[in-house]
Chain A
Amino acid sequence: MTTHPAPEGLDAHLVVERGSFRLDVTLTAAPGDVVALLGPNGAGKTTALRALAGLAPLTDGRLRLDGTDLARTPPESRPVGVVFQDYLLFPHLTALDNVAFGPRCRGAGRSEARTRAAAWLERMGLAEYTGAKPKRLSGGQAQRVALARALATDPRLLLLDEPLAALDARTRLEVRAQLRRHLADFEAVAVLVTHDPLDAMVLADRLVVVEHGRVVQEGAPADIARHPRTEYIAQLVGLNLYRGRADGHTVRLDAGPEVSTTENLSGPAFVAFPPGAVTLYRDRPTGSSARNLWRCEVAGLESHGDQIRVELTGDLSLAADLTAVAVAELGLHPGSAVWAAVKATQTHAYPA
């Protein structure tokens, strides 16, 4: 994105080779940015995080933080704080001593380190848990202690590995909101790794989507949600996505059929539409205004919130969201033959 490395912030090109796996991602961020590395399991997100922390050696590339080259710096000398997925709080130390550990190692005296640790715990709303061992903390509390521990060394780069993955759904909602507040207050660069699109979109200003060790798309969350460029992202944000060649208001899909769109494009293009935009008919509709009409077969039905997600194969593979009433009226079951229609105004085409 930037050709000149920013004097402040993170400027990294991480290349890590391990066996047949190769990670090759470029990451840049200014102080105050919160960047989310989003991708499926095994995409290399955690490897990227470990490389930033110095726990996995770089095979090649560069790593600069605030203008300082860190590529050869051992982890204990990097101004980097890490919140690990399962927190890795030291089980034999109290919450206070866990948080004081970093300042102690970085040269603070015992009482100064404890004072700083106490201040961080207070800020996290954990003042009354300073003497508690990690075993006695709830998931949400442990997460905040881990965040306090990482922040107590005043890092210039904060790394969070799946920060909410270890929490149950209810705690998650609450902790996500708190974490968002703390990240907003954090004045240096924060990079978080997640496979959950909601966490990524709520917590980060910018998403970097990683698949098979490479960046496949990056940008603002809203932009990525509107213009997914891979099947993985399309599924995450809940869109049907196809690649094809545009010629005016028509896109000929690589999958075969054509789709009419409102956009006027030419050349390689993506077409996306939400499952809710699909209408299903038992018989071929005659008076329908939809120009996009395909013969399909029901491959599967699955409840999806208060709707039913119908997976279709045939002329075009797609997902359609219907109400339970509609499914019952159409008498859909796996194997049913249906017609699927989408209005041109409901589709969205953009250059590939």
Chain B
Amino acid sequence: MTSTAQDTLGKARRPRAPGRGVPLALLAPALIGLAFLLVPLLALVVRAPWSDLPEQLTSPAVWDALRLSLVCATTATALSLVVGVPLAWLLARTDFPGRSLVRALVTLPLVLPPVVGGVALLLALGRNGVVGRWLDEWFGVTLPFTTAGVVLAETFVALPFLVISVEGTLRAADPRFEEAAATLGASRFTAFRRVTLPLIAPGVAAGAVLAWARALGEFGATITFAGNFPGRTQTMPLAVYLALQNDPAAAIALSLVLLAVSVAVLAGLRDRWTRAV
């Protein structure tokens, strides 16, 4: 009760305290930064060809690109969850030689230019790649320049976001719950599935959203590894880039769609998270 009273007192008093204004040296750069982030988005909205918009958005090419983007980003996120959550668990909960090196390698795609990632994927999974050669020879599977290639390129750049996010959540979660589960007869896998996973679910969801957003916006690795074939590998970012060359109005329309999708996801999750807490 005392602490609540103090909190209210503190809250009530803070804005009224005399001579406690925000220093200009902090305020000015902060406002410049804010403007820098908002003005481009605003420009997109202001310059949108609102009259042509319905026509632009109903073109089948746009829907193909949007559908492909959503399907690929979602599949890449699902793939990332399947391998990323166990990888995060391994990094957070076990001790093996070279673990910090492994963590560094996992984070490498975060800082690697996506184009380089695409080149590396070609060298690994291309028809003459280190692994791709065998895939082609044994199973007749070709990945580059296919929709599956888009998913792999997006997974390559999105997975680290998920792993880092989930690993952080795991480290913050109390490992003693797993010990309690062990004393009740749960194997490590059962403890993970029935205790740890439900406890870190919000962190996994946050990581999945990050990964999904990253996959949706993926450009460099995708165009390098999967090419730019409409309907097959041409995702929204690729379509935007291509449209900008010959039909700027279409590029703006496509960008608006991506902006709307991003805002919708952010708004939807914010609501769910605030309710969950």
- Could you list which residues of chain A lie within 8 angstroms of chain B, going by C-beta atoms? 53-55, 74-78, 80-82, 84, 88, 90-92, 101-102, 105-106, 149-150, 153
Interface centre among A74, A102, A106, A150 (most CB of B within 10 A): A102
Q: Which of A55, A78, A80 contacts B179 (CB 8 A)?
A: A55
Count, chain B residues at interface, CB 8 A: 17
Q: Is the CB of B182 within 8 A of A55?
A: yes
Is there a chain A Cβ closer than 8 Å to B241's Cβ?
no
Q: Is the CB of B180 within 8 A of A82?
A: yes
Rank and list the top 8 A-B pairs by shortest CB-CB distance, nearest first: A105-B185, A102-B184, A88-B180, A75-B182, A82-B183, A92-B198, A106-B185, A105-B186
Given A76-B186, A88-B176, A101-B186; 7 other pairs, CB 8 A cutoff: A76-B183, A77-B185, A88-B180, A90-B195, A92-B199, A105-B185, A150-B184
Whose C-beta in chain B lies nearest to the C-beta of A107? B185
Report chain A residues within 8 Å CB of B176: 84, 88
- Given A84-B180, A101-B194, check contact A76 B199 (CB 8 Å): no
Is there a chain A Cβ closer than 8 Å to B187's Cβ?
yes
Q: Is the CB of A81 within 8 A of B195?
A: no
Nearest-Cβ distance from residue A312 to partner chain B, whole angstroms: 38
Nearest-Cβ distance from residue B173 to partner chain A, whole angstroms: 11
Whose C-beta in chain B lies nearest to the C-beta of A155? B183
Q: With A and B bound together, what is the CA distance between A102 and B177 in angstroms?
A: 13
Nearest-Cβ distance from residue B176 to partner chain A, whole angstroms: 6
- Given A90-B177, A105-B190, check contact A81 B183 (CB 8 Å): yes
Nearest-Cβ distance from residue B236 to partner chain A, whole angstroms: 37
Q: Is the CB of A76 within 8 A of B187?
A: yes
Nearest-Cβ distance from residue A49 to partner chain B, whole angstroms: 11
Q: Is the CB of B183 within 8 A of A101?
A: no
- Given A84-B176, A88-B177, A90-B177, check contact A105 B184 (CB 8 Å): yes
Is there a chain A Cβ closer than 8 Å to B135's Cβ?
no
Whose C-beta in chain A lies nearest to the C-beta of B183? A82
Whose C-beta in chain B lies nearest to the C-beta of A146? B180
Q: With A and B bound together, what is the CA distance between A102 and B182 in angstroms?
A: 9
Q: With A and B bound together, what is the CA distance between A84 and B180 in angstroms?
A: 8
Q: With A and B bound together, what is the CA distance between A92 and B276 in angstroms?
A: 12
Q: Which of A54, A74, A91, A153 contacts B184 (CB 8 A)?
A: A153
Complex interface bits, B157-193 against A, C-beta within 8 A gives 1, otherwise 0: 0000000000000000010110111111111001000
Q: Is the CB of A80 within 8 A of B199?
A: no
Q: Is the CB of A91 within 8 A of B199?
A: yes
Report chain A residues within 8 Å CB of B199: 90-92
Report chain A residues within 8 Å CB of B182: 54-55, 74-76
Report chain A residues within 8 Å CB of B185: 76-77, 102, 105-106, 153
- The 7 sampled A-B contact pairs (Cβ below 8 Å) are A55-B182, A77-B185, A82-B180, A84-B176, A88-B180, A92-B199, A106-B185
Report chain B residues within 8 Å CB of A91: 199
Q: With A and B bound together, what is the CA distance between A101 and B191 in angstroms?
A: 10
Nearest-Cβ distance from residue A92 to partner chain B, whole angstroms: 4
Whose C-beta in chain B lies nearest to the C-beta of A85? B176
Report chain B residues within 8 Å CB of A106: 184-185
Q: With A and B bound together, what is the CA distance between A102 and B183 in angstroms?
A: 8
Nearest-Cβ distance from residue A63 to partner chain B, whole angstroms: 15
Q: With A and B bound together, what is the CA distance between A92 and B193 in angstroms?
A: 13
Q: Is the CB of A149 within 8 A of B179?
A: no
Q: With A and B bound together, what is the CA distance between A105 and B185 in angstroms?
A: 5
Report chain A residues within 8 Å CB of B187: 76, 105
Interface centre among A54, A88, A150 (most CB of B within 10 A): A88
Whose C-beta in chain B lies nearest to the C-beta of A55? B179
Q: Which of B180-220 contact A (CB under 8 A)?
A: 180-187, 190, 194-195, 198-199
Nearest-Cβ distance from residue A16 to partner chain B, whole angstroms: 16
Report chain B residues within 8 Å CB of A101: 181, 184, 186, 194
Q: With A and B bound together, what is the CA distance between A175 and B277 in angstroms?
A: 31
Interface centre among A74, A105, A149 (most CB of B within 10 A): A105
Q: With A and B bound together, what is the CA distance between A54 and B184 in angstroms?
A: 12
Nearest-Cβ distance from residue B255 to partner chain A, whole angstroms: 41
Q: With A and B bound together, what is the CA distance between A75 and B184 in angstroms?
A: 8
Q: With A and B bound together, what is the CA distance between A241 and B190 in angstroms?
A: 52
Q: With A and B bound together, what is the CA distance between A88 and B182 in angstroms?
A: 12
Nearest-Cβ distance from residue B194 to partner chain A, whole angstroms: 7
Q: Is the CB of A55 within 8 A of B183?
A: yes
Report chain B residues within 8 Å CB of A76: 182-187
Q: With A and B bound together, what is the CA distance between A266 and B116 in angstroms?
A: 87
Q: Which of B174, B177, B179, B198 contacts A75 (CB 8 A)?
A: B179
Q: With A and B bound together, what is the CA distance between A39 and B118 in angstroms?
A: 62
Report chain A residues within 8 Å CB of B180: 82, 84, 88, 90
Q: With A and B bound together, what is the CA distance between A106 and B187 in angstroms?
A: 10
Whose C-beta in chain A lies nearest to the C-beta of B199? A92
Interface centre among B177, B182, B185 (most CB of A within 10 A): B185
Q: With A and B bound together, what is the CA distance between A153 and B194 in angstroms?
A: 17
- Given A90-B177, A101-B194, check contact A53 B183 (CB 8 Å): yes
Whose C-beta in chain B lies nearest to the C-beta of A77? B185
Q: With A and B bound together, what is the CA distance between A242 and B220 in angstroms?
A: 80
Q: With A and B bound together, what is the CA distance between A70 and B28 in angstroms?
A: 67
Report chain A residues within 8 Å CB of B186: 76, 101, 105
Q: With A and B bound together, what is the CA distance between A75 and B187 in angstroms?
A: 9
Q: With A and B bound together, what is the CA distance between A78 and B180 in angstroms?
A: 13
Q: With A and B bound together, what is the CA distance between A54 and B181 in angstroms?
A: 12
Q: With A and B bound together, what is the CA distance between A82 and B182 in angstroms?
A: 10
